[in-house]
Amino acid sequence: MAKKDLLIVESPAKAKTIGKYLGPDYLVMASIGHIRDLPKNKLGVDIEHDFQPEYVVSEGKDKVIRELKKAAKDIDTIYLGPDPDREGEAIAWHIAESLGPNNHNYKRVLFNELTPQAIKEALASPVPISKTRFESQQTRRILDRLVGYMISPVLWDKLKRGLSAGRVQSVALRLVVERERLINAFVPEEYWTVTAAFLHQDMPFEALLTKFQGSPISLTNEDEAQIVVKACEDQYFTITSLTSKERQRRPLAPFTTSTLQQNAYTRLKLAPARTMRLAQELYEGLDVPGGSVGLITYMRTDSVRVSDQALNEAKNYVLDTLGQDYVPSKPYLYKNKKGAQDAHEAVRPTSVARTPETLKGHLSTQHWQLYDLIWRRFVASQMSPSISKQTAAEFLVSDYTFRATGSIITFKGFLEIYDPGSDEDKNILPPLKEGESHRPETITPKQHFTQPPPRFNEGTLVKELEDKGIGRPSTYAAIISVLRDKEYVYGQKGLLRPTEMGLTVNDLLTANFPTIMDVDFTAGLEENLDQIEEGEAEHLTILRKLYTPLAKSIEEAKTNMRNIKLDGLPIDLPCPSCGNPSSINIRYGRNGFYLACRLCSYTTDFTRDDRGLPQPAAPVALESEILCDRCGKPMVPKRGKYGLFLACSGYPECRNTKQLKTTDEGIATIDEETPPPLPEGFDPVCPKCGSTMVVKKSRLGSWFIACTGYPKCKNAVAFPSGLKCPRPGCTGEIITKNSKRGVFYSCSAFPLCKTILKGVPYREPCPVCDFPYQVSSNSKTNPGQVLCPNPQCPRNSSDTSDGSSAIATSDTYYNPQLSKMASSFSSLTKRLAKPSAKAKTTVRKPATRNRNTKKT
Active site (catalytic) residues: 298
Strands 5-9 and 77-80: parallel
Question: Using an 8 Å Cβ cutoff, are 438 and 395 in contact?
Answer: yes
Cα(834)–Cα(215) distance, integer angstroms: 101
One-letter amino acid identity for 108? R
Among candidates 169, 167, 122, which has minimal Cα distance to 141?
167
Beta bridge partners of 735: 720, 746
3-state helix, strand, coil in the chain (%, to 5): 30, 25, 45
Residues 6 or more apart in contact with residue 791 via CB below 8 angstroms? 726, 727, 728, 805, 807
Cα(295)–Cα(310) distance, integer angstroms: 13
Question: Using an 8 Å Cβ cutoff, are 409 and 415 in contact?
Answer: yes
Strands 621-622 and 667-670: parallel
Cα(670)–Cα(659) distance, integer angstroms: 6
20: left (phi over 0), alpha (psi -120 to 50) or beta: alpha
Q: Residue 777 CB: number of other CB atoms within 10 A?
A: 19
Strands 614-616 and 621-622: unpaired
Q: What distances in angstroms separate CA 290 from CA 22, 121, 317, one per listed residue? A: 15, 21, 21
Coil, strand or helix at 621: strand
DSSP for residue 299: S
Strands 105-108 and 77-80: parallel
Cα(185)–Cα(190) distance, integer angstroms: 16
Question: Using an 8 Å Cβ cutoff, are 269 and 366 in contact?
Answer: no
CA within 13 Å, CB half, 517:
20
Whether residue 835 is preceded by a cis peptide bond, meaning omega within 30 degrees of 0, is no
Alpha helices in 285-343 (DSSP H): 308-321
Rg (CA), the chain: 34
One-letter amino acid identity for 433? K
Among candidates 679, 680, 622, 616, which has minimal Cα distance to 647?
622
Coil, strand or helix at 249: strand
Cα(573)–Cα(584) distance, integer angstroms: 6
Cα(529)–Cα(300) distance, integer angstroms: 16
Question: Using an 8 Å Cβ cutoff, are 383 and 326 in contact?
Answer: yes
Among candidates 92, 123, 112, which has minimal Cα distance to 23?
123
Beta bridge partners of 622: 668
Alpha helices in 103-130 (DSSP H): 116-124
Phi (first) and psi of residue 569, to 5 degrees:
-110, 120
Question: Using an 8 Å Cβ cutoff, are 116 and 122 in contact?
Answer: no
Strands 400-411 and 215-216: unpaired
Chain CA centroid to CA 393, Å: 47
Among candidates 18, 249, 247, 240, which has minimal Cα distance to 119?
18
